[in-house]
Amino acid sequence: MNEDSLKKKLAKLNIGGLRYFDSIGSTNDEALTWAAAGAHDFSIVIADEQTQGRGRLDRKWFTPKGSGLAFSLILRPPASLLPHLSRSVGLAALSIAESCAGLGLDPRIKWPNDILLNDKKTAGILIENIWTGDSVDALVIGMGINVYKTSVPPAELLQFPATSLEDALGKEPPAREELLFGILSAFIHWRERMATDELIHAWEEILAFRGDQVQVQAGGESQISGELLGIESDGSLRLRDAYNKSVIIRFGDVSLRASA
């Protein structure tokens, strides 16, 4: 993967701009800086290696050279989508999942921001915003996908089992440029439907652990258990607790696991 091959592959997509790096600390950091300086909508920052990649809750994201996909999209949402920005993580997750499904795999979205293959984490999403006053001016959506086996961190560094596309396929995956094209194409498709029930239904359809008992750690020491029912219209998670009452889990300092 290099800048020329990326430009050639993405030529059919109406991207706002491209910045490629052989190595970078964090694509999200670069994208935030670029967005603040006026980057166009749907501009992309991508790197062959990340040395300070991060996920949600300041967790590290492992991206050795030549091993995975690490990129960040800059979006400038129109006024019509501002009420639906809480769905952005579902938009990104569906885009990755649809690309995986196109390879013959069976992805599941682990709420709120991970994609699982064979119950193991294969991709993660980190969304950060740039504000103008009390309105979001730009979103930076960082995505990291484990493509080759070498992208999977050592077991002692994992908080959740992980895998790669190569492991899940049992063979070498398509070139990373091809994978990126598939994800971005799906992203364009779902972005046009971001304000519709279609996106929520599609997200819910491949939701990991739906119908199962789960435990949600919601900040501090608070833990909530219940049956995972689905997704609310704003992207929140809906559970049914032991008293048959509906419980809504909002985005934030939360982590989800299936009950033992």
Task: Please name the amino acid found at residue 103.
Answer: L
Strands of 237-240's sheet in order across = 246-249, 237-240, 223-231, 213-218, 254-258
75, two tokens: 């979006």
Mean pLDDT of the chain: 91
Q: Determine the pLDDT at residue 54.
A: 66
Q: Determine the pLDDT at residue 234.
A: 94
Tens of pLDDT, residue by residue over 161-189, are: 899 999 999 999 999 999 999 999 999 99
The two beta strands, 114-117 and 120-132, are antiparallel
DSSP for 207-244 reads: BTTTTSEEEEEESTT-EEEEEEEEE-TTS-EEEE-TTS
Q: Determine the pLDDT at residue 58.
A: 59
Q: Determine the pLDDT at residue 159.
A: 76
Q: What gap in Å lies between CA 66 and CA 171, rounded to an integer?
A: 17
Q: Determine the pLDDT at residue 111.
A: 93
Q: Determine the pLDDT at residue 124.
A: 93
pTM higher than the cut 0.85: yes
Q: How far is CA 229 from the centre of its chain?
A: 21
Q: Determine the pLDDT at residue 257.
A: 80
Domains of the chain, start order:
3-205 (3.30.930.10), 213-258 (2.30.30.100)
Q: Determine the pLDDT at residue 122.
A: 95
Residues in the chain predicted with pLDDT less than 70, given as ranges, are: 53-59, 219-221, 252-253, 260
